[in-house]
Amino acid sequence: MFGRRGPRTAEKVEPTAPRIVFFGGKGGVGKTTMAAAHALRLADRGLRTLLVSTDPAHSLGDALALPLGDDPVPVTENLWAREPDADAALRRRVRGIGDDAAAALPREILPAVTRHLEHAAAGPGMAESALADLLMDTMEEVPERWDRLVVDSAPTGHLLRLLHLPELLTPWVQGLARQRERAIDADRFAVGVVGGSGENEDDPLLERLHARRRKLERAAERLREDAEVRLVLVPRRMVLAETDRAARELAETGFRLGAVVINQVPEDVDPEVLTAVRERFAAQGTVELALSEREPLGPDALRALVERLP
């Protein structure tokens, strides 16, 4: 039966390996396949592994030859996969904020708040932010629920924004919390002037802001201390240039870079490009996979790649 934890031995467990691994790269280079194969290898070693896609293209289910959705689906022994719906995650987030607002704010201003939330939800990057929230929640389940988390990331630009989001949002959330605290202090002062008990109920909006700040701080720390990014590319000059920029930005901001996968290497590959890739990523190490006539789909086909991955 899938989903049951397999036997654990000292050889199967990798105590020094990162618990969270992101696979990223330009669209179409095979990062979904690499993420699925890596997750399968971890599961075969007896590690409870969750494979998550944050790519809007939703190709992870195709790679595994299995329908996926918001909830983890058992794939093989010790391996689960999920393909969250960004729009559904955003709707849940907006509902939660609306419920908190209804509990904390005067009834007469709630229609304006609702309109503001609707406009905000339609704004650029909001679905991406909701997916980041979901991913942060999942990261907090490691290692209690999952031994390893493997993330099939969106194309490079989205991956970089996703990884930077916790640090970018933390100051903004802190500012909102300070504004809310000042508003509460003003209310307390007014109660003292006009008379009243002066007792204050818990403020759900302020509690949510502080909880989100703590979550963002934990996520930022976790991404740098317990995560690794493995970039996938094909041996082409334009792809190498984009991968080089991504690797530099990740390294400059403190992210750990793992071995780089040079995928879909054709027999007539440009030797200068291949040499340039090898030299550029010599410090991380590279793994080369030849171009295959048949795309590996499903766990059995993916296992053929497992022994060749870092």
Lowest mean pLDDT among 67-76, 202-211, 249-258, 271-280: 202-211
The residues near 36 (Cβ < 8 Å, ≥ 6 apart) are 51, 60, 63, 64, 81, 152, 302
Q: What is the mean pLDDT of residues 248-256?
A: 88
Q: How confident is the model over 227-244, as a mean pLDDT? A: 95
Give the pLDDT score at 11: 39
The pLDDT tens digits for 168-194 are 556 555 555 566 556 655 555 344 444
The answer to whether 270 and 228 have CB atoms below 8 angstroms apart is no
Task: Please give the mean pLDDT across all residues of the chain.
Answer: 78
Q: Which residues contact 173 (CB under 8 A, 6 or more apart)?
A: 209, 212, 213, 216
Segment 15-66, tens digit of pLDDT: 568 999 999 998 889 999 999 999 999 999 999 999 999 887 778 999 999 9
pLDDT at 138: 93
Residue whose C-alpha is closest to residue 203's, from 100, 58, 60, 86? 100
- Residue 233 has φ and ψ, to the nearest 5°, of -145, 165
**C-beta separation of 146 from 50 below 8 A:** yes
Q: What is the mean pLDDT of residues 260-278?
A: 96
pLDDT at residue 208 tops 80 = no
Does 129 have pLDDT greater than 60? yes
Mean pLDDT across 71-78: 96
Query: In this structure, what DSSP letter does residue 257 have?
Result: B
Cα gap 228→45, rounded to integer Å = 19
Distance of alpha carbon 148 from alpha carbon 142, whole angstroms: 7
Got the DSSP string for 47-72? --EEEEE--TT--HHHHHTS---SS-
Which positions ≥6 away from 138 have C-beta within 8 Å? 50, 52, 149
Kindly report the backbone phi and psi dihedral angles of residue 50, in degrees, each rounded to the nearest multiple of 5, phi listed first.
Answer: -110, 130
Residue 87 pLDDT exceeds 70:
no
8 A C-beta contact, residue 152 and residue 52: yes
Q: Where are the domains of the chain?
A: 20-87+128-168+218-306
Q: Which amino acid is at 145?
A: R
For residue 244, pLDDT over 90 is answered with yes
In one-letter notation, the amino acid at residue 56 is P
Asked which of 62-76, 151-165, 170-184, 190-204 is least confident by mean pLDDT, the reply is 190-204
Q: Domain 20-87+128-168+218-306, CATH 1.10.10.10 — does that match?
A: no
Amino acid sitting at position 32: T
